[in-house]
Amino acid sequence: MMATEGQRLTGEGTVTRPPAGRVHADAIDAFIAAANTGDPDRRARLLSLALAPDVSFHGPLGRGVGRGAVEDFLTEVVQSYPAGRCRMVRTTVVDAPHEWARFGWRFESADGTAVLRGTDMVHFTAAGDIDEIVVFAGPLQQEG
């Protein structure tokens, strides 16, 4: 039996995968890298590594289904930001209880100034692909 990348063989000859949190973080980091690249071919390649083909995307600026919808969102919103070149940065660890994960992010200008912060929640398939993304932009309002 031969292990593939990201797998290893145990003494009994069975294949084990990295801990779910690491797999989740890798997919999330590929998604963020896709948001940050100006190369459309590289963006599509990174999204194919991170997202299920029928991924569902929910955010304050709209909803979409499929990798193409996510790619269009990244191209229109992240890559075409009116104030100039910006980038997404993951600002927290990936908190991943089972098939759900959440992480904090910052959208920042070229000089590192935060334009917007938020938290995303993502759901993973058994294969480790993101099949649902829910974007929460900005801080929660305090009650009272």
Q: What percent of the chain has pLDDT over 70?
A: 83
Q: CA geometry: angle at 49 spanning 62 and 108, to 5°?
A: 50
pLDDT band at 110 (very low <50, low <70, confident <90, very high): confident
Q: How far apart are CA 124 and CA 12, in angstroms?
A: 28
The tokens for 121 are 């929640």
Q: 25 CB contacts (<8 Å, ≥6 apart)?
A: 93, 94, 96
| pTM to 2 decimal places | 0.81
User: If you ran DSSP here, which 8-state letter would residue 69 be given?
Assistant: H
Q: How far apart are CA 101 and CA 131, in angstroms?
A: 12
